[in-house]
Structure 1
Amino acid sequence: MPDFQPAVIIPATPSLQLYRFAFIDGRLLLDEEGRLAPILAAGLDLADAHYLGRLGEHDCWACQMTEVPAGLQATALRAAMMKLPAELAALAGRAAQVLEWDRSHRFCGTCATPTQLKVGERARLCPACGQLAYPRLSPAMMALVVRGRELLLARSPHFPPGVYSALAGFVEPGESVEECVAREVAEEVGLRINRPRYFGSQSWPFPHSLMLAFVADWESGDIVPQPEEIEDARWFTPETLPTMPPSLSIAGRLIRAVVAELEAR
């Protein structure tokens, strides 16, 4: 698919067709075959919609709806993202986060005055005290620990049965991402690591995370799972891998990339 150009200001010449990311109670509206296709812009009411930018020749909008139109079905966001092409899945996540930010910042957190959308910027402005509220982002690290030809995978109690993934956790105030990587690995499985290497990042709308993925080397320690956080954690070789996260997620891409590197040794 073509590249996406993010924007807040509506272009002077809107596209004839657009992508509308419409939600009902957090669920994305898809057609009966699980697709999201461009629709004609003519006649659509976009007064309360949020402009996201342009994907190729199509403007992209996010909006809330109260009823499911004929021919569409409301699909849980995670399931919808698994069905959509990568570019549309990423935009669905963006749309969901913009709508949730708009819903949860209708009143100023400082003085409780109703806020207004700020012209030309993705922000809500308090007309009384001037407080600006931008979409919330929560940085979170992901760490895949490697020991020789083994990699450490773990599962939380809320994971689907049999699925293992890399360790992850949110960055705390005053903490660098590298410090977070070391702390979370120590807290969750009791290991010391060294040489953390950045792999990549991904916006993840559950609820509003910016995932920053790292590979790190095991330094010392035995696996001691953190109670209530880690149901199981163990070392796996490329030949003994469990069920992994889908490649849509950066966890899935991280694990598969490291496995390919280990297999090439």
Structure 2
Amino acid sequence: MPFTPAHQPPGQPTPLGWHFAFVGKDLLLPDNGSETLSLPPGAALMAPVETCHYLGRLDEHDCWACVLDEPPAGWRGVNLRAAMMQLPAPLSAVAGRAAQVLEWDRTHRFCGVCATPTVRQAHERSRHCPACGHTVYPRISPAMMALVWRPGELLLARAPHFIPGMYSALAGFVEPGETLEDCVAREVAEEVGVRVKNLRYFGSQSWPFPHSLMVAFTAEWDGGEIVRQPEEIEDAGWYPFDALPGIPPLFSISGYLIRHAVETLPRQAA
């Protein structure tokens, strides 16, 4: 299901469209358990035009993001994270995009410079201040993820907000003036007190909670003992490849990263 992004709707809409409708932070899904979000043009769950955003085309069907006050009959609100885990990967990805566009629009209704109401632009995805000329675009916050390893073991940690028993790679937001490599070294040192070397890029994932871009690396341990940052890390330790604790599902890049590491990294010291 190829997706072609766009910000302007076509002159001729497709007969059916994907409509990613939200009530608050919840994505609306059909109450009958179906995974389809296809609706005829004009049946966008009766969303006001000013709350709808065109996203592009998925598998030759127009995609829209919109906001409603309450779920219509036959639909139910589902927490976005849970909904994305239920949907096929292409729909999940566009649902995440829809959530980020709507959150950007919601939080930039007024100019951050002079407080004047902003106006949506037709030629690009932006909001413009008619008073001072300030323009805002959808916000993306880069964050690194680092899976620290030594032969046969992975350093996994859990934050206080994780579900019980869940451990993952280390992660943190990039600070102004930092490279991704600088961020990895700083965050690992801050959160667990160890040094790393030999960073290897693994992949990235858009993470709409609320507007992150997760950039994942593996990083080889270069010394130091684990010392937790109490405010950020509830527990951390070295785990053998064949005795890992609970890890994230494949829905998140951390799940892929950890499983790929187990399959590819050295299992014994040289």
TM-score (norm 1): 0.96
**CA 1:194–1:119 in structure 2 vs 1: closer, same or farther (change >3 Å)?**
same
Rounded Cα–Cα distance in structure 1 between residues aligned with 2:34 and 2:255:
22
* Aligned 8 A contact 2:198 2:219 in 1: yes
Q: Tell me how far 1:263 sits from its aligned partner.
A: 7.6
Question: What pairs up with 1:5-20 in 2 under 5 angstroms?
Answer: 5-20=4-19
Counterpart in the other structure of 1:132: 135
SS at match of 1:79: helix
Q: What displacement does 1:237 show?
A: 1.6
Count of matched residue positions in the alignment of Structure 1 and Structure 2: 264
SS at 1:109's partner residue?
coil
Gaps of 5+ in 2: none
Q: Is this contact kept in 2: 1:238–1:262, CA < 8 A?
A: no
**Residue matched to 2:125:** 122
Contact 2:100–2:210 under 8 Å retained in 1 = yes
1:100 partner SS: helix
Q: Aligned runs of 1:103-122 on 2, under 5 Å?
A: 103-122=106-125
Q: Secondary structure at the match of 1:103?
A: helix
TM-aligned CA distance change 1:139 to 1:43, over 3 Å = closer
Q: Which residue of 2 aligns with 1:162?
A: 165
- The Cα RMSD (Å) is 1.4
Q: Which residue of 2 aligns with 1:3?
A: 2
Paired amino acid for 1:36:
T
1:40 aligned to 2:40? yes
Deviations 1:146-197 (A, max 9, x none): 1011111100111000000000000000000000000000000000000111
Matches within 5 A, 1:1-265: 2-32=1-31, 33=33, 35-44=35-44, 47-48=49-50, 49-262=52-265
Partner SS state of residue 76, structure 2: strand
Instruction: Give 3-state SS (helix, strand or coil) of 1:21's partner.
Output: strand
SS in 2 for 1:63: strand
138-147 or 28-37: which moved more? 28-37
Alignment-mate amino acid for residue 4 of structure 1: F
Unaligned runs of 5+ residues in structure 1 are: none
Counterpart code for 2:136: A
Q: Structure 2: how far apart are the matches of 1:25 and 1:178?
A: 36
Deviations 1:118-151 (A, max 9, x none): 1121100001111011111110000001101111
Q: Indicate if the aligned counterparts of 1:63 and 1:99 stay in contact, CA closer than 8 A.
A: yes
Maintained 8 Å contact 1:34/1:80: no
Render the CA deviation track for 1:62-98: whole Å, top value 9, x for unaligned. 0000121111100011110110011111111111111
Cα distance between partner residues in 2 of 1:34 and 1:244: 28
Residue 42 of structure 1 deviates from its aligned partner by 4.1
C-alpha offsets along residues 194-252 of structure 1, whole Å, 9 cap, x if unaligned?
01111111110111111000001000001111112111111112210111101010111
Distance change in 2, residues 1:43/1:52 (3 Å) = same
Compute the displacement of 1:39 (Å). Answer: 1.2
**Consecutive aligned runs of 4 or more in structure 1 exceeding 3 Å deviation:** 42-46, 262-265
1: CA distance, partners of 2:199 / 2:233 = 21
SS at match of 1:187: helix
Deviation by residue 1:103-125 (Cα, 9 ceiling, x = unmatched): 11111000111100111211000
Structure 1 position 261, deviation (Å):
1.0
Instruction: State the shift of 1:57 in Å.
Output: 1.5
SS of corresponding position for 2:259: helix
Asked if structure 1 preserves the Cα contact closer than 8 Å seen for 2:139 and 2:211, the reply is yes
